[in-house]
Amino acid sequence: MELSGKSPASSDHNTSKKTLASSATAKSTGKSTASSAIVVKPNGKAVASSANPMEPNAATDLSSLPSEQVMFFREVSLGPREAELMFRIIHFWDARNPNTKTLIGREMLLIDEEGTVIQGFIPASRVERYELIAGSVYKLINFFGSRSKDQFRVADHSATVSFSWNSSLSVLENPPVQIPEDRFRFHTYEEFKANCDSRADLYDYVGHMKLVNGQTLTDHIVLDEADIAEKRHLCVHIQTHDGPVMKMYLWDKAASDFCQKFKSYGGIPSVLLVTTVNPKHIGGTLALTSMSSSRVFMDADVQPSKDYLEWLVSNSEIANRVSAEVVTKPEPVTLEELFSYIKNETSKVAWFECTATIDDVIQGSAWYYISCGGCNSKAVKGPTSLVCNNKKCDKREVTGVPQYLTKISVYDKSEQAVFVILGDAGKELTGKHAAELVANYFEAASDELTYIVLLCQSNAGVGVDHCVPVPDALLETIGQTRKFIVKVSDHNLTGKTQTITVTKIIPAGAPLPSVSDGISKTAGDDSGPSGGVGGDASDRARKAAEYLESDEAKRSKSG
C-alpha cells in the first residue's frame, strides 16, 4: 500500500502557499498532545501557541510590527468597536436553520498575527456585501463583539467578531506583517469520549483509516459516489496511533470532499484529518460526525497530517494491532438477554445480533407505508398531492415510494418478541422491494379497490383492512430462522414500546456486517436516504408511485 502521495491544495484556500498547522503529534513518542495547538508562519517556522486565546504572550516568537491602530483578537471584548482588525480567513461556511434550511448567516474562522483564532459572523442580510476568499488577509474596520454561542463552538475565544451596519472590509494584497495560515485544536480519544453528546466545542481529529464504507484500504477499493451522494454520508473507521477504533461519519460536503481527495492520490491515502467534529453515541459507541464547518485533509495536505504519516510509516506494526472488523461487530444476544439489557437503567442505544425464528407476520395493520422519495420519511395527503411529513426535508411535494413497515413475531429458546422490519431490511428478508410487491398488486387490482388503497395510504380514514393484503413473499418467511441486527432505541429504553426495530437481516452463511452497515434510513429518521430499487422493479415502483400521486390529486380536486 502506498502511504504517500500528492494532493491538490484544499479547495477552501485560494493561495499557492502551503497550509501549515498544528500538530498534535510528537515524533519522539508518537503520542498526541491533548488540545494542543501550533501556529506556523507562512515561511514554515512553527511556533507553539497557548491554548488560551486571552494569553498576551501567545505565539510571541512570531516576528511582527504591530501597529497601535490595529486591535489583536485577544483584545476583542463584547459590544460595538470602532477599531481595526487585521486577519486571515482560514475557512467560511453558511449557517442555516436545520428545519427550514433558511440562511442565518455566514460563519468564519479567523486568525490574527499572534496566532489567536476567533469566530466571525456576517448576518444573512449582509452576506452579499462581502466577497470572501479563504486564505486571504483582510482589514476590517468597525464591528460588534457578540457573545460566542454555547454550543458547537469552533474557537476558544469568548467573543465573536460580528459584522455590523458600518463595518468596512478590504483585502490586503501585501500584508505588513506575517499572519499564520491555519491552526488546529486536536482532541484525543479520551477527550472525545469525555465530551460525547455534550454539544460543546468542536475539536479536530487526526489518525489513520482502517475501513471506508466497510472496505479495507487496498488498491481495489471502490467508492460508490452515486450511492454516497444518495445517502448523503459515508462511514470511515479510524484510529489514532494504537488507540481504540472509532467510526467517523462524513456528511454532505465533507463526504464529497473526501471522495475527491481520495481519488486525487496516486496511491491509497492512509491519514485522515477532519476539523470541527462532533462526538456522539451511535449504536451505543463513541463516533465522530462532521459538521457544516468541517474540513477534510489527507496524507500530504497539511503539516499535522504529514507528521502523522511519518509516524505511521515508522510504526505500521503498532497501528495494525487492532482490527476494525473485529471491534465493530454487534454483540450476539438471546431475546432474554436483549430484554434484560433494555430493563437496565444504565443502558444506552445499541445494536445487537439476534438469531430467531419467525412465528408469524402480524396482520390487522398495513405492512408498508408510502414514503417521501427524497428522505424516506412518511408521505401524507396534501391539498393536491402527497407531501413529506419530515420538516427537515426540502421537498414539499414528493413522489411517494412504498417502504416496508412490517411487524413479525419471533422466538428463540429463551423468549418471544415482536420485531418491526423497516426499509431495506424487508428486501433482505423477502428478496423483493416493498415497491415491487405493491406495484404487482396494483397491476392486478380493480379500479375500485385501487382507489380504496389510495385513500387508505393517504390517511383518508378508510380502515386498514382495505389496504394491500400481506403478500405471499412475507408469509413464506414464516418458520425461517434468521440472524437479525436489531436496534435498542430510546423508545425501548423509556418503555414507550417493546417492539424491536430490525435494521439488517443476514442471509445464511453471509459474513456479519459492522454496526455502521445496520444504520439505514427509516421512517422518521433524518440520517440520510437509503438505496433505491433497480431494474424492472424500479420501473414498476415508479409507475405505482406516480399512479398513487396523480390519481390521489385527481380525487382531491374532484371532491
CB 252 within 8 A of CB 233: yes
Q: Exposed, middle or buried: residue 211 (CB in 10 Å: 0-12, 13-18, 19+)?
A: buried
Number of H helices, E strands in the chain: 13, 24
Q: Exposed, middle or buried: residue 557 (CB in 10 Å: 0-12, 13-18, 19+)?
A: exposed
Tell me the per-residue pLDDT of 358-412, one tens digit each, with 9 for 90 and over.
999 998 888 888 887 777 777 777 777 777 777 666 666 677 788 899 999 999 9
CB 247 within 8 A of CB 288: yes
Distance in angstroms (rounded) separating the CA atoms of residues 31 and 24: 8
Of residues 209 and 243, more confidence is placed in: 209
CB 206 within 8 A of CB 304: yes
Kindly list the distances between the CA atom of residue 428 and the CA atoms of 304, 379, 432, in Å, as whole numbers in the listed order: 43, 23, 8
What are phi and psi for residue 307, nearest 5 degrees?
-60, -40
Distance in angstroms (rounded) separating the CA atoms of residues 103 and 127: 10
For 193-202, 271-280, 377-386, which range has the lowest pLDDT when averaged over its residues?
377-386
Distance in angstroms (rounded) separating the CA atoms of residues 189 and 240: 8
CB 7 within 8 A of CB 272: no
- The model carries a pTM of 0.56
Tell me the per-residue pLDDT of 78-108, one tens digit each, with 9 for 90 and over.
999 999 999 999 999 999 988 888 999 999 9
Hey, what's the cell of 385?
Answer: 398531492
Q: Which of 260-269, 300-309, 362-371, 444-453 has the highest mean pLDDT?
A: 300-309
Output the pLDDT for position 292.
94
CB atoms within 10 A of CB 395: 15
From the list 486, 489, 356, 370, the residue with the least C-alpha distance to 414 is: 356
For 277-286, 319-328, 536-545, which range has the lowest pLDDT when averaged over its residues?
536-545
Beta partners for residue 111, in sequence order = 88, 117
How many angstroms separate the most distant Cα atoms in the chain? Answer: 84
CB 101 within 8 A of CB 82: no
Tell me the per-residue pLDDT of 437-485, one tens digit each, with 9 for 90 and over.
888 877 765 544 454 445 444 443 333 334 678 899 999 999 999 999 8
Instruction: Report H helices in 344-488.
Output: 424-430, 434-444, 447-457, 472-475
Of residues 442 and 6, more confidence is placed in: 442
